[in-house]
Structure 1
């Protein structure tokens, strides 16, 4: 029997660049120890070093195509760690982190969108996100896939302290790194199809409110016991969103769908808002719907009015 020849870094890199997620997973596993050593040399032992390694690994998801010398992919991965650590040392605040997610966005240019489709990175990442606990999943979706990106804005949207946002994002980074490695060689659901379905529901919901008659499938999406929380409702109080939104509509407030982010049981619809002159409601130019689902139906809706965070203390 011929001995099995180990796959070289160059071979794995070329396969990863061709869109094979399993090859990229093997590369990250092979070089994890040396990446961690770089982080420890710059940041010392502690959670910051671990976060930096995970952030660099996630950045590699998007940027593996940048590698020009496949034999030197190990040095490239260590450079990602070094750069991420230095950015953290300079900023002292939010780690830029999750650079890999920054461009996995519904409004990429065509070439980048085709690259993501070809590499199946989108489905791999969303499969991992869907395995997170709901509280961690929500902050990740807001931070990396919507216009609500700062810790302060996320804290307002979720009605939690900023420190809790930082803690949940740190936990999410750690869990996602493990989940991505575990699922690298698996097949995953089509995340784009889920987003398209959610976008269709959003457009039908808005059209139904405009016309005063919701299609049957949209009525089923919003059962009678849907709960509104936040500024337009109270926790535990079942105020159906349809009459609430009708009041705004009748006062000249119009919502226009801007962006959709759809997870397994969390949907985020971002709206642009126009208000008729003289309207009693003073709405901001944008707002966001955060929806928690159960069995496909909306269980809870929070309408978020983003506000500019206060400047960070020096």
Structure 2
């Protein structure tokens, strides 16, 4: 490619990126097609031939959809897309490292102005609206994979959903394919304010932890959570409100505290990712973190809860009826 052709390509990339940032999914599709060969080459250089390459490219497409508003130099979008693939591939190789391919994807340029900020948030709200159009079986793996920070590996998602890893791969593939159709179907629909939902859910998480430390966790469950709340292990119910209350009481009596680290919030799902703080005299008492994965009822109340740790917690398992 000569210098002139290279300059034209950069201008075309910039135009497509700005269109994608304005919410044109077709423009993002064209960008991905233009850079598919380079993205695949990066994945192959790290992973070698195999099905993981296609998984990484699919993940990269969804990440690009979510984060295209963060591209500060539209002409450099090709480097940004390859960075997504590189980070995702390395996370897959490391295995235990959480899948977070978005930490260092910002390219240097001027800060976005108010118009770009509004476009970015409008696109994010649209994506969440489309997510809500997916079936529950597809929505939960997609949200955990692309919006959480710690429940992102196939193995962790399989634990959360209660299905084999192969089924997780299949559902993610189906979810990504259906997301494009859902985006088209919701293009003209009103989109909820995702930032407002996240703020409200974060406030609720902090209020829940404060209530627990004040001895009101059980009362809060009665006031704010569905009367049909059930603790699940995979897809199997293992207890209700009383099990949750006893588990929290046991943790507090042992000196364990939780601190909110990250919130994911939609109309039908919420995820509270907590740091777990062990007592000073027993620093290895508990795993470093826990994710509260909650399915919400039509009133926005949690009615199904999955608690996910890096490793099983014997105390919680002991509380659950056999």
Q: Helix, strand or coil: the match of 1:154?
A: helix
Distance 2:174 2:223 in 1: 35
TM-aligned CA deviation for residue 157 of structure 1? 2.7
Q: Is contact 2:58–2:173 with CA below 8 Å preserved after alignment?
A: no
Determine which of 182, 189, 192 is the counterpart of 2:192: 189
Residue 146 of structure 1 pairs with residue 149 of structure 2: yes
Matched, 1:132 2:134: yes
- State which of 64, 88, 98 in structure 2 corresponds to 1:59: 64
Q: Deviations over 1:18-56 (max 9, x none)?
A: x521xx23535778988899999xx9xx9x879957954
- What do the CA deviations read for 1:87-120 (whole angstroms, capped 9, x no partner)? 98xx8999xxx99x84699xxxxx6897554422
1:299 to partner: Cα distance: 1.0
Contact in 2 for aligned 1:252/1:279 (Cα 8 Å): no
Of 202, 205, 215, which aligns to 1:202? 205
CA distance in 1, matches of 2:237, 2:63: 36
5+ long unaligned stretches in structure 1:
1-8, 106-110, 309-314
Aligned to 1:179: 182
Instruction: Measure the CA separation in 2 of the matches of 1:103 and 1:124.
Output: 22
State the distance in 2 between where 1:185 and 1:15 align.
19
Q: 1:127 to 1:276 in 2, by over 3 A?
A: same
- Give the TM-score, by structure 1 length: 0.67
Paired residue total? 275
Q: Cα distance 1:302–1:65, how it changes in 2: closer, same or farther (>3 A)?
A: same
Alignment match of 1:273 (pick from 276, 288, 293): 276
Quick one: distance in 2 between partners of 1:196 and 1:58?
Answer: 22
* Change in CA separation of 1:298 and 1:113 when aligned onto 2, cut-off 3 Å: farther
Alpha-carbon contact 1:253-1:281 (below 8 Å) kept? no
Mapping for residues 276-287 of structure 1, pairs under 5 Å:
276-277=279-280, 282-287=285-290
TM value normalised by structure 2: 0.66
Distance 1:116 1:140, change over 3 A: farther
2 CA distance for matches of 1:283 and 1:29? 44
* Cα distance change, pair 216–197 in 1 and its aligned pair in 2 (3 A): farther
Determine if the alignment matches structure 1 residue 253 to structure 2 residue 246.
no
Name the CA shift for 1:54/1:304 in 2 (closer, same or farther; >3 Å): closer
Aligned-residue offset at 1:180: 2.1
1:27 equivalent in structure 2: 27
2:163 partner SS: coil
Distance 2:139 2:269 in 1: 8
Distance 1:104 1:198, change over 3 A: farther
Structure 2 vs 1, CA of residues 52 and 216 (structure 1 numbering), >3 Å: closer, same or farther?
same
List gaps (5 residues or longer) in structure 2: 1-11, 45-50, 106-110, 313-322
Give the CA RMSD over aligned residues: 4.6
Distance 1:243 1:84, change over 3 A: closer
